[in-house]
């Protein structure tokens, strides 16, 4: 291994450490606790080293969002592929989405609530965000109905899931009814 390859590997390792530490802090104490000073202390590097990877908290949030989107895509595909039949796949997809949001609130916030400097629904949208949407589209496209624009249908279903996730988390919807809400949403799909 060349010196350059070693330096690139070490840089990538430091970047993963920064993102993992930011996630840990945010999940444990909220995003307000994630500061460059605190991150530098936790990872035992100076703030200038941290700034050599990320220009600030916004970029760190963006990196966490991209990592979360990749994880969400894997979870959605795994859940859908384990189910038999279109309706069961949509139900599994919805449960996996809501479960991901509930288990990873800070990551979910980085993905959809906070400014991570990422473009959504644009040509320059980062690949992990496009892939997370594609994971929804793959299953929801099966049930959109004849003549229905599958992308718009997926956006609408996603918006419903996002609303359920955020309203439940904020205490505006009782969590004990999550399963019934999920089933009601799926049951309103066209007959399959």
Give pTM, 2 decimals. 0.94
Please give the C-alpha separations between residue 30 and each of 18, 34, 110, 165, in angstroms, as whole numbers. Answer: 16, 7, 11, 17
pLDDT per residue as tens digits for the range 43-90 = 999 999 999 999 999 999 999 999 999 999 999 999 999 999 999 999
In which band, very low, low, confident or very high, does the pLDDT at 192 lie, cut at 50, 70 and 90?
Answer: low
In which band, very low, low, confident or very high, does the pLDDT at 139 lie, cut at 50, 70 and 90?
Answer: very high
Predicted confidence at residue 191, as pLDDT, reads 57
Q: Is-contact 65 54, C-beta < 8 A? A: no
User: Structure tokens of 139?
Assistant: 């299953």
- Among 151, 161, 166, which residue's Cα sits nearest to residue 185? 161
190 has a pLDDT exceeding 90 = no
């Amino acid at each position: 291994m060349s010196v350059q390859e070693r330096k690139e590997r070490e840089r990538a390792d430091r970047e993963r450490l920064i993102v993992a530490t930011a996630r840990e802090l945010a999940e444990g104490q909220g995003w307000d606790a994630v500061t460059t000073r605190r991150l530098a202390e936790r990872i035992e590097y100076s703030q200038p080293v941290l700034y050599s990877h990320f220009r600030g908290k916004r970029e760190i949030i963006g990196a966490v969002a991209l990592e979360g989107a990749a994880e969400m895509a894997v979870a959605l595909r795994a859940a859908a592929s384990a189910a038999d039949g279109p309706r069961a796949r949509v139900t599994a997809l919805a449960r996996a989405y809501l479960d991901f949001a509930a288990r990873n609130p800070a990551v979910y916030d980085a993905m959809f609530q906070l400014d991570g400097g990422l473009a959504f629904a644009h040509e320059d949208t980062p690949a992990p965000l496009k892939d997370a949407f594609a994971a929804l589209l793959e299953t929801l496209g099966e049930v959109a109905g004849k003549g229905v624009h599958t992308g718009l249908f997926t956006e609408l279903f996603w918006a419903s899931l996002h609303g359920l996730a955020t309203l439940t988390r904020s205490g505006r919807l009782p969590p004990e009814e999550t399963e019934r809400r999920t089933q009601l949403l799926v049951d309103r799909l066209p007959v399959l």
